Structure 1
């Protein structure tokens, strides 16, 4: 019996190895290019803001607290603010609750201050230029000290405030608009509407009103002497005189002119 030996050509055996090597080189090249591109992107300066953070917790549990949201500038310069504030927990505190300033002063009760312990601190007005610092008075000794450079955010700027029209935020006194937004600048119009233009009332708010308050006579004597009365712009709800610009869209009545009594001049 004749034995037949089949010998595969050498190049056929090497083909898979060569192909695998080429495939590996190609994949490695793609990976290297991807890493290089990522490295180049990382080196490029990025300008702009990061995303806003989550809102912080509220500084108070009632009465108008403040919460914050922050973002970080990722470049050298960024236009805009890095922080914003928002009112929270705006429900009124119980009527018999201590004021928020009192709570903060009381935190120093029976604490060591300048080598002595004082039993009770009471909130008081301090330097008008430091509305948002914590000034407290010793109940037993009567002297006033600044116990903290800043009150807690959400504290009224004024000790005897009757509304939350201005509150302290980061040591600064900021106005609160009628919309409940810090620094919005919105106020109520003459009709009591927040941000309104005064046109929602049932009758015109600003009107020209005759006063019949005459000027002095233009001459102290003689037959040809006159005096005049001019109308004023008035808020019809409050009956108060306001600047004439509020009545600019309405026709102004003509001045009332009267002849003065004839007073004989000494020379006549």
Structure 2
């Protein structure tokens, strides 16, 4: 009885050596049962032929195997088959060196971090030397270098940056003035040795209140008498006024109308005679212009004792030659602004070397705040 096996566990590949040994075995069977020989001829056992020549080496490079074959012939009349294998194997060499593909070594340890502050990267390498590719073998596949993020554990310096400018109200309510601009070194604030902001944190820019014309401040003209002395003898009152020039300018400071004493130059001690004339008042004059364009001013009316004038010892007119009344009390006067005290100086704009400190004062005009500043280096 024959049993067979195949060289498939595994099949030789990539110049591997074929299986060594016979691919079949046999053993006797039914030895206890005698055969019935029908023919009268004698059994003939099989005999091996000579081995054939060795075949070519079964490899294209390096070592391999080669085979040779023989045949079992002549078996007849129930003779035994040949004993042994029909195939023989032996090792062989092609005398050609096989290609050696390259293999990677293990990675080295990671190097130092590339950053002296904040985050950086560090690398490690490997070499294509385990083994080195030879005799036409393939190079290693993949990268020889590998990187990863790393931290220096040291914060990087942060340079300071200016905030946006903030602006005060215009210093003028008419014409051209200026605005105070301020900014802070807080966007971001310098840290960890970073550089402070360069430049000034305080600045002024012109501003133009183009829709408001500034009033022209006026000056007074000389006083001009507008009435005669109110008394025909002894002392009386005379009215005089002045004009704020040029016309249309802002109000001058002070009154435009003034009442003053006057000397008639005539004594009042002459006794009345039979033909004396008692004095009578004239009509009241028109009211004078108001002495102020706002707040509480005063205006006057006068009359003269000349209708008729006392003479020949006649009595003077009885009553006042001047009467007054308030005017423009319903007009609010503008209030001139006054500076507040200076505030404290700010912190120095630098932490080393020359810097700038500022302080501010405020003027309030009709609830409008105007800023002034002073630099100290």
Q: TM-score, structure 2 length as denominator?
A: 0.16
Q: TM-score, structure 1 length as denominator?
A: 0.22
Larger strand percent: 2
